[in-house]
A and B are shown apart, each in its own frame.
Chain A
């Protein structure tokens, strides 16, 4: 199972954090800081693995990939194959690239809701749900169309909270 997905820049600023098991926000920040402390000291041309057990506890592994100013980090347990997760990071980044045309850090910052959408099409409750970049794109585009369509119609529904009286 994938435990967490993090995207952070080379200064250690979080750009995306998704934990598939609930953790209080302080704990999330502590883990993110812990990961960054290790990542920022790593040279280029080394492996994509770091010792995750000292940060996340037993039975955890960590794979990361460094693209320009961003680190993409996936944390998972021994039920996943390390290189397959590394491939998954590649799929994630390739999909972002398709979506934003030469994706850069700013795209991720200002479109983080879209990044969430893409991630949700790819990883579901800690499991890989789709590995084909084009399938993910198809789903995301469908969603975009829906959003655009509903934005075009200016009809404002009367009560969004009417369900509570039911």
Chain B
């Protein structure tokens, strides 16, 4: 059949076909487009026939992939041609070329509407088709009611009505806000009574669209759907033309079952029974036959029935029947059915209770991993990934590894990612996990993302017993001739950290390890060289006694890279060389990396993010939620303090940056360097938590990267913290060589001072332990509780706590356990009795061992003088009489104090109040003076009243005169000194600049009212 007499068009197509190459084709097409453009310009002389011919040419050109940016108006204008062929061309081409927002469409709306409401059925069909294909907003606004009328009209032929149904569907889908479907439930139910299967198929699609939006309204359609299904399944009254390979309209059966899946359940028992009978019939009555088309059709119905059974959550018996069927399918010859069998099994994982039955087919599924069809292999991979759990992880992952070497390149990345995730989630033991990842890197290094090797490094770092194993394992891989660069990276990291654990094994001396690594250097890229350099530095550090030859070899390498063009390499070379020459300091800086905080696997996170919402994927997610690993604890617990931001995994570096490389001499050079040293520059100063009590009593916080704390000079106090003024504590006094690797979190001195003012809070914290205190004070008695919290998943051992009490305190500490279990908190009560007034301090000598770290700290206990004070408000009369009776030293002492931190008087009053020395306002008429009182409790004497008077000089706030009186000379002296300390050095604040030395002691003028009062009072 020729092109309906369009000879010109046939000739054009032939010419295009005869073009030898793309260039010729383009020339021919450009020529034709020019021709068409010209003809359209002189539209007057154009007959409808010619228009039609040219428009078809344009459509042909468009199909070949050339943009046609003119002639749209001509195409649209053909719509209003009175004769069928031109009109047809206008409609078809318009729906192909124009998008729904095209301006020209608006011009055609009237014509289209006239065609729809007109009497000509052929025109109605053309118009509906175009509107249905484009589905624009303006069409919806002006045509939807007319289309609805056509659908319901009894006088219309099925040919028109089925198109009206789908046209309405399209308009509704695209513009649900415009197309009004209120009250459509009854009409929809009515439409389902239709006998014509063509109209019924379209109506069923419309029901799916409407019910998917709001099924509630369409309940009345549900029994009708079941009835239709029954009619088809029993093959009652199905015309021959709707029987496809002997199966009554498989499309309508499928659509009907699809519609039923939009209703959450079927309540009416009769309807439910009928439906299950039909489903049972479908499940049982479908056989695999020779004819491919018949097979496809019957299985289309069968798979939809399976989906509906799963949706309805049928009885277990029917479910296992479904799994059995699927098990049969995945083994059949027909590849489509194998494919869908695997896909539906994956969907079925969502249904509980069937996993075990699915597992029975594991061998067959693994066979499908070797299917000649890549589509089927993918489905098998998805299913294996979904069905994996602890019981079968080893088998499945090993199969995946085996398959990796033969897998298509397009699948390798996904495959290795999935294998890595499964290995991590379900590892029966950690060494197996390490084996799997190393094999992955070995077999498919190009497809291993950084996340995967970072993760294995995290696990090795966090598990001491894994370290020698991993080191030995990576060494084996390095011994091979060809090694992937990722393997070099991971080996360099692990050998740098842990190769010293192998030192006694043959071939594992530092020198041998070094040369093994160094052999690889010429083969790697610039991103790997820094890791190698770090490993060299670490190996050198671990070589005890030092090996001169190795040292000079490594130094010369650093020397060489000192002038490297790559900034990262250069920086490391320069730094390591400088550090090496520092001798003992190297030990500390290059010490073993601390444990990583536990965090959720970024791999697992990645898959979760990439998973969409489709049913099968959410099944995987669901299972991922249900099944937690039994081997590797993967938590996503956030630090309770909220102060830490997780360190990106990408920032692995071998060098810890402790604060202590700052020494007096070269602060300026080293400090900035150590900050930039990069990787660990996530500063985490851990300020004392706002809510200290909750810190103690709440669950232990998992802190940020231990040791990753780059502390400011002032915070860097570790070890002995005794009575020395912490504020100028740049000195780090390691108790012994091993302890100095653990850094306290937060400032110990600040924590202590805070605890002097309040009764609960954190006394000390480091990456492994948190020591909290809660205290109660009654007169001269104190009861403290020490909370020792292990922050890690490993126990703290050799825990020791000794109190070094001063002479004036009786302190009794209950037994402290030797071991603190992982993540546990131990409470140790501590009884304190105050014997005499003294400013001496009790010290807690605390030590523990974590891994190879021996930590010892000496901490002041906040059992200070003020804790034994009780504020008291003394009436003016009594105050003055007491003040008078305590006349002169040693019971009453006066001192002019300089170097006071300037503060307004009310602040000073508050400060005294916080030490339980109560301000007595109104006693002193001078607004620049302050009078306060308190009582002191001790075992040896009854409660003792203490009176304080402070005179300030508004002209110079850095000095004041303090007078203190009590019935006990020691108490007077001690309390005066205590208050002095508080006024001079207020812990948290920066110290004020010292007053100019030249300033003379102010002479209090004789007419000073304060002086008069002083005279009066004394």
Contact = CB atoms under 8 A, between A and B. Distances in A.
Contacts of A51: 375, 378
B336 A83 contact: yes
Interface stretch (B296-304, B644-652, B893-901): B296-304
Interface of B: 1-5, 10, 13, 17, 43, 47-49, 51, 56, 59-60, 62-68, 77-78, 80-86, 88-89, 92, 96, 98-100, 107, 110-111, 122, 125, 128-129, 132-135, 159, 162-163, 166-167, 169-170, 197-198, 201-202, 205, 208, 241-242, 244, 249-252, 254, 258, 293, 296-297, 299-300, 303-304, 335-336, 338-340, 372-373, 375-376, 378, 612, 614
Contacts of A127: 166, 169-170, 202, 205
Given A87-B296, A116-B92, A125-B170, A81 B335 contact: no
A134 B241 contact: yes
Contacts of A116: 92
A12 B690 CA distance: 68
A161 interface: yes
Interface in A116-159: 116-117, 120, 124-135, 139, 142-143, 146-148, 150-151, 156-157
Contacts, number: 208
A75 to B, nearest CB: 15
Interface of A: 14, 16-18, 20, 22, 24-26, 28-29, 32, 42-43, 45-51, 58-59, 78-79, 81-84, 86-88, 90-91, 100, 109-114, 116-117, 120, 124-135, 139, 142-143, 146-148, 150-151, 156-157, 160-164, 166
A125 B336 contact: no
Contacts of B208: 79
Given A45-B335, A129-B162, A109 B13 contact: yes
Nearest to A99: B1
Chain A CB count within 10 A is highest, among B5, B68, B339, for B339
B1 A114 contact: yes
Contact of B244 (A131, A142, A163): A131
B13 A150 contact: no
B66 A160 contact: no
A125 B65 contact: no
B260 to A, nearest CB: 13
The 9 closest A-B pairs by CB, nearest first: A83-B300, A125-B132, A22-B99, A46-B373, A47-B335, A125-B170, A163-B80, A29-B65, A132-B241
A87 B2 contact: no
Nearest to A107: B1
Contacts of B78: 160
Contacts of B17: 109
Nearest to B379: A49
A75 B84 CA distance: 31
A42 B201 CA distance: 34
B85 A83 contact: no
A152 B373 CA distance: 53
B163 A83 contact: no
Contacts of B205: 127-128
A88 B99 CA distance: 26
A84 B251 contact: yes
B129 A124 contact: yes
B67 A113 contact: no
B977 to A, nearest CB: 75
Contacts of A88: 251
A28 B66 CA distance: 11
A81 B304 contact: yes
14 contacts: A14-B63, A25-B67, A49-B336, A51-B375, A59-B612, A59-B614, A87-B293, A117-B92, A129-B198, A143-B84, A156-B47, A160-B51, A160-B78, A161-B77
Contact of B335 (A46, A100, A124, A135): A46
B157 to A, nearest CB: 10
Given A129-B166, A146-B84, A160-B78, A84 B300 contact: yes
Nearest to A30: B65
User: Which residue, of A78, A83, A128, A148, has the highest number of chain B Cβ atoms within 10 A?
Assistant: A83
A81 B261 CA distance: 13
A146 to B, nearest CB: 5
B595 to A, nearest CB: 39
Given A14-B64, A157-B82, A157-B83, A124 B201 contact: no
